[in-house]
Amino acid sequence: AIQMTRQGIEVTYMILTNGDKGNHNPEITRNQLIAMRKIEQRNAAELCGVKDVLFMGEEDGFLRPTPEIRKRVTREIRRIRPELIICPDPDRYLVGEGYINHPDHRNAGLVALEAIFPASDNPMFYPDMADEGYKPHKISHLYVYGHAEPTAEVDITADLETKIQAILCHKTQIGDPENAPANWKKRWGEEQSDGSMRYFERFKAMKFG
């Protein structure tokens, strides 16, 4: 997102769940947590140059690829008409050592993919949207992150510190903010032949004609 917004490309974040269970502190109420996480997300988006953040408000921890949420996401795709969509991999359950992929992350990827195809560009799906002015739309590119077999990489070296600061905006989610950046750098880093470090994000990339 940082590279795209710097080039003048408009980026929209879509947050499917309300985040009301994303912390273990019993002194924080769910409503307080929802409000806190919205602030965190907006702060992170601002650092990345993203002006538009959509909060879809689904209950945290229970996201499922229901017909209702697929329709809502399809409506936003038809309204915004993006060229590129980036979403999580819906198929990875176990990541690295000791991490089980959150079901909301997997299902967010599934919701996105099912909205992209077959729904978003097919006029037989949700014909009522045309009456609202939201005509079918076909995206040009899809990037799936967290995929076991990535096919594209983006060099994020120049924006590494901004990316880290954006992630650190999510204070309710970072258990060890002092040591977390070093772990992220280790995950993204790759030593070059001259001994320098460069940092990459990798995706399963697809292009649609």
Q: What superfamily would CATH give domain 2-150?
A: LmbE-like (3.40.50.10320)
Looking at residue 97, what is its pLDDT?
83
Domain map (residue ranges) of the chain: 2-150
pLDDT the model gives residue 73: 99
pLDDT digits (tens, 9 = 90+) for 83-140: 999 999 999 999 888 899 999 999 999 999 999 999 999 999 999 999 999 999 999 9
* Mean per-residue pLDDT of the chain: 97
141 forms beta bridges with 84, 207
Global pTM exceeds 0.85:
yes
Mean pLDDT confidence for 137-160: 98
Region 3-10: mean pLDDT is 97
Nearest to 140 by CA among 99, 193, 86: 86
Report the pLDDT averaged over residues 76-86: 99
Q: Please state, in angstroms and as integers, the Cα–Cα distance from residue 15 to each residue in 62, 108, 196, 204, following that order.
A: 14, 9, 36, 21
User: In one letter, which amino acid is 185?
Assistant: K
Q: Has residue 157 got a pLDDT over 90?
A: yes
Q: What is the pLDDT of residue 165?
A: 98
3-state secondary structure of 57: strand
Residue with tokens 């198929």: 91
- The answer to whether 200 and 153 are in contact (CB under 8 A) is yes
Closest CA to 14 of 112, 140, 90, 102: 112
